[in-house]
Structure 1
Amino acid sequence: MKKQSIIQTIEQLNRLLKTCQLWSAEQPTPQQLASSEPFCVDTMTFEQWLQWVLIPKLTAVVNDPHFNGLPHRSDIHAMATYVFEKYEQDTDDISRVIKRLDQLLNDYKQQTIH
């Protein structure tokens, strides 16, 4: 089932952020979370956005019976590739999981259109 695959991929991303020591114990302020910029680039790091914005929003979407709030298209991997190339730690696994998440979300959206 696609929904279960999406849930498992979100959980895997969550674990990898912790394993790679990219998990933040400090929650962003409401002002940081209110950013209107893509990926909140003006107020937080990409991994903070993954942790505090993407993961909670996608979790809420997949728990909604109608998947309300699912983006029309997901291309998070492009941003991950750009950001992670500057990191010293190995982020290949995180990048692969984000790519898989993009694929799952885009496949699901395509199925609901047809």
Structure 2
Amino acid sequence: MKQAAYVEIASLLLELEKALRAHSLWEEHAPAESALSSQEPFCVDTLAFSQWVQWIFLPRMKVIVETQGNLPLASNIMPMAEEGLKAQGVNGQEIIQLFKQFDDLVSQ
């Protein structure tokens, strides 16, 4: 993956954090370790979608970007963002669009 893609992903990660904060979805304290170590996709059995983004997705992606590590070969997070935010009662179109951009960028 080219350097420009990592820069673009880093920018998207910052925008995601800002959007979570703007929707009052950013938490000061991490969930219990047991909730973070779920084996289910997106930790659907232990975390709200926004918690998964904050405590699992963003930290993992930041490490990949900083080390220019291997990105996923494909991404399809946008549908989960739509469902997860709807379940939380959040109209998070900005967050959904950011995940669409992420999915498109990674899947190129």
Distance 2:24 2:65 in 1: 26
The code of the aligned residue for 2:105 comes to L
**TM-score with structure 1 setting the length:** 0.85
Q: How many residues align?
A: 105
* Aligned pairs for 1:19-58 within 5 A: 19-58=22-61
Q: 1:92 to 1:22 in 2, by over 3 A?
A: same
Identity %: 31
The Cα of 1:105 is off from its aligned counterpart by 1.5
Deviation, 1:72, is: 2.5
- Equivalent AA in structure 2 for residue 18 of structure 1: R
Q: How well do the aligned residues superpose, as a CA RMSD in angstroms?
A: 1.3
Q: Please identify the structure whose Cα radius of gyration is greater.
A: 1
* Inter-CA distance 45–89: structure 2 relative to 1 (3 Å threshold): closer
Q: Is the 8 A contact 2:48 2:88 kept in 1?
A: no
Q: Distance in 2 between matches of 1:88 and 1:32?
A: 21
Cα displacement (A) at 1:101: 1.0
The two structures have a TM-score, normalised by structure 2, of: 0.89
Match among 9, 13, 17 for residue 14 of structure 1: 17
Q: How does 1:1-114 map to 2 (within 5 A)?
A: 1-65=4-68, 67-68=69-70, 70-107=71-108
SS of residue matched to 1:85: helix
- SS in structure 2 at match of 1:90: coil
